[in-house]
């Protein structure tokens, strides 16, 4: 399980650095794993 987690993190961080969009299957996997996206606070708050 540890190697799968490390591989997923490396894959995801590479995508973040490149700024590529997120396909539906990645959203599903992240939801299953309990990973939430970071949302910046809006200026109004």
Residue 16: its pLDDT value, please?
A: 79
pLDDT tens for 1-45 read: 688 888 888 888 888 787 777 777 778 888 888 887 776 666 555
Three-state secondary structure of the chain? CHHHHHHHHHHHHHHHHHCCCCCHHHHHHHHHHCCCCCCCCCCCC
The pLDDT of residue 44 is 53
Q: What is the rounded CA–CA span in Å between residue 29 and residue 14?
A: 17
| pLDDT score recorded for residue 45 | 52
* Sequence-ordered list of residues with C-beta below 8 angstroms from that of 25, at least 6 positions apart, any chain: none
| Assessment of whether the complete model's pTM goes beyond 0.85 | no
The domain locations on the chain are: 2-33
What pLDDT shows up at residue 34? 86
């Amino acid at each position: 399980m540890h190697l799968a987690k490390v591989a997923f993190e490396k894959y995801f961080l590479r995508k973040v650095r490149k700024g590529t969009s997120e396909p539906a299957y990645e959203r599903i996997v992240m939801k299953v794993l309990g990973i939430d996206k970071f949302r910046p606070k809006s200026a109004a708050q």
